[in-house]
A and B are shown apart, each in its own frame.
Chain A
Amino acid sequence: MASEAVVERRSVGHRLAGLLHGRRRLQVGALLAGPVGWLVIGYLGSLALLLVAAFWSVDPLSGLTEKSFTLENFEALIDEPVYRDIVWRTVRTALLVTITDAIIAFPIAFYMAKLASRRGKALLVIAILLPLWSSYLVKVYAWRTLLSANGAINWALEPIGLSGPGYGTTAVWLVFSYLWLPYMILPIYAGLERIPNSLISASEDLGASPFTTFRRVILPLSFPAVVAGSIFTFSLTLGDYITPRLVSNDQFIGNVIFSNVANNQPFAAALAIVPIVVMIAYLLVARRLGAFEHV
């Protein structure tokens, strides 16, 4: 009797769930339908539509695309040396920012993970996350004033006879390192937390100095976390055009795309392929280095 009642009262949802039960492929399909549909058709499709324009050309006056296949955009990219300079400048800055952030973030993350008290940890996490809520633009403008000729940095360094970097590539590096720092601290913190203290104690018991323990136990174990954090610092720097525009005269890949997207979309599309390729390469390297491993 009870089972009959249960069978009658089974809702559509339950019946659907029953249908899926045991059928793994269906389960996977049902789970993935939404995200994959959204990402592949919506996002990838849009991307493909944009990038296919890289093989077209544009009528210079009207900006209308002529949909005949041509490689002239890529030729222009390769022939004119300024684009190589810009790409290299962007990639170089992205790498520098990543390394800088890793260096600054590690001690903080380590302290938070291993040495801070429970309350200290909480306070530090909040302290690090709070700045993220102040608008990106506001922060970059604050840096502009810090770096300006009459700004606080020059004012502070003057007594020692030095002067600040002013605007320029150094400023861009500084500001990017500043902006993305929390995105490096958090993953490293999480990664370090997962290293059991017993491993560290064991290393010390075996006679290793703190430095050796760090070098041979902690660093290798936390490296995937560092690499994972680096994916964000690298990609965020690679695509940004607002900061270079505000604190320097430098052109980054994003700036050139931005200045071409209005009147020469095929060329902008060709330019856009460059960071995509760079990013894919970076992600492959990151995978190799174990960023995607579960430690």
Chain B
Amino acid sequence: MSSRDANPARTAWLVVAGLVVFMLVLAGCGGGDDSTTGGSSDEALEKVGKGEGEVSLISWAGYVEPGWSKPFEQKTGCKVNNKEAGTSDEMVELMKTGQYDGVSASGNATARLVAAGLVAPVNTDLVPNYKTVFSDLKDQSYNTFEGVSYGIPHGRGANLLMWNGDDVSPAPDSWNVTMDPKVAAKYKGKISQYDDPMSIAEAAVYLKFHEPDLGIENPYALDEEQFNAAVDLMKEQQPNVGEYWGEAAKQISGFANGDNTVGTTWQYQYFALKGEDVPVEASPASQGFLPKEGATGWSDTWMIAKDAKHPNCMYEWMNWIIEPKVNAEVAEWFGEAPAQELACKQTENKNFCAEYHAEEPQFWERVYYWETPLADCGTGDGECMDYNDWVKAWTSIKG
């Protein structure tokens, strides 16, 4: 190992190190990772042309099923590539890769996607079935930004309070069974809670009803005092929680195996468990299908990616998903209220829309769709906690 040998090699290493530094500088001087600021020059499609042969979607579990995606493929020739995600965060992350044409975004993702310039406005004139979508789903704060429509409604639903009929009695009619530390202690270690910062809103909904002095109006627009109250409530819940679930399968196996007996769920899991004869129950008709405080919920919107690679197929998909027959199938399969008015005549269960309150705007006043917490409270003035605060708080809640 003569020093003569070492020197040229050393030079080589220095060159390599220099390269790395050079790249760091590149990154610092604004390389390529700054997406264009949203809203500047993105335009909606003018005209739907010929299909491109495939479309790549990100969706919630149960939204893109062969029952309606296969006929779509046959009709339009657009092959459907579907990726399911468990949380809105995952959906935003996937959209950032630029590999997908569209996403079924909930309210806690839509504003973020628009602000990050990841989605383009939707020209609703190009979606014939949009005309007959329920009017209380159009021009909402979660799908319309600065007067421009950014998506097509998929359907809506309320998060359910589900319990194992054999283990929990009397049948609960309030969220206190998971939220009130004294009552929840009865089910210590058996409570199932959704693993996402949005769960803080559940506490806010509970506090809105039980502690009106806090003055909570919108469970997603919380000032510091209200936010801390909600976070404290969730921290008190934590010791009683059996499992935080991020994937539907985890919760299903939890209820099926007796690890969980009560908690927040989606219709998807509820029906899956019922189908396997697990004795689960949810708030019945006599309670208005909701615990007395109301519930958080979702109203999801199909959004199209900016610079989508297959825009024509995406528009075809957006029109297809609210085709009356299809939307009826979608809604019945998942167990949510359809977005399409005409779907109510196409459901197999003739009472479906009535049971799911699809045509009752006043029912939805007790359901707080997921929204993105914004620093300006969404109204332009006011000081609320923003989404990053929610994420950090959720990390501390779980511990």
- Nearest-Cβ distance from residue B19 to partner chain A, whole angstroms: 6
CB of B83 within 8 Å of the partner chain: no
How many residues of B are counted as interface, with CB atoms below 8 angstroms from the partner's CB atoms?
A: 55
CB of A203 within 8 Å of the partner chain: no
- B23 lies within 8 A of A49 (CB): yes
- A49 lies within 8 A of B27 (CB): yes
- A61 lies within 8 A of B23 (CB): no
Complex: A52 Cα to B29 Cα, angstroms? 12
Interface size class of A (residues with CB under 8 A): 35 or more
Give which listed residue, A29, A40, A167, contacts B243 with CB less than 8 A. Answer: A167
Complex: A220 Cα to B374 Cα, angstroms? 60
Among the 9-residue stretches B30-38, B63-71, B342-350, the one with 4 or more Cβ atoms under 8 Å from chain A is B30-38
Interface residues of B in 77-103 (CB under 8 A from A): 89-90, 92-93, 96
CB of B126 within 8 Å of the partner chain: no
Complex: A28 Cα to B13 Cα, angstroms? 12
Interface residues of A in 164-218 (CB under 8 A from B): 166-167
Among the 9-residue stretches B169-177, B203-211, B385-393, the one with 4 or more Cβ atoms under 8 Å from chain A is B385-393
A64: B residues at CB distance < 8 A: 34-35, 37, 115-116
- Nearest-Cβ distance from residue B234 to partner chain A, whole angstroms: 13
Closest to A45 in B: B23
- Nearest-Cβ distance from residue B243 to partner chain A, whole angstroms: 6
Closest to B4 in A: A25
- State whether A62 and B117 are in contact (beta carbons under 8 Å apart), knowing that A40-B20, A256-B395, A263-B89 are contacts in the complex: yes
CB of A85 within 8 Å of the partner chain: yes
- Nearest-Cβ distance from residue B244 to partner chain A, whole angstroms: 5
Among the 9-residue stretches A103-111, A113-121, A144-152, A227-235, the one with 4 or more Cβ atoms under 8 Å from chain B is A144-152
- A61 lies within 8 A of B387 (CB): yes
- A45 lies within 8 A of B28 (CB): no
- State whether A40 and B16 are in contact (beta carbons under 8 Å apart), knowing that A62-B112, A63-B112, A64-B116 are contacts in the complex: yes
CB of B399 within 8 Å of the partner chain: yes
Interface residues of A in 223-259 (CB under 8 A from B): 245-246, 249, 251, 256, 259
B117: A residues at CB distance < 8 A: 62
Complex: A49 Cα to B16 Cα, angstroms? 15
CB of A278 within 8 Å of the partner chain: no
- Nearest-Cβ distance from residue B190 to partner chain A, whole angstroms: 9
Complex: A85 Cα to B397 Cα, angstroms? 12
- State whether A166 and B259 are in contact (beta carbons under 8 Å apart), knowing that A49-B27, A264-B391 are contacts in the complex: yes
Q: With contacts A36-B16, A60-B387, A80-B392 known, what are 13 further pairs, Cβ within 8 A?
A: A25-B5, A58-B388, A60-B386, A61-B115, A61-B375, A64-B37, A80-B396, A82-B396, A145-B253, A251-B398, A251-B399, A259-B394, A263-B112
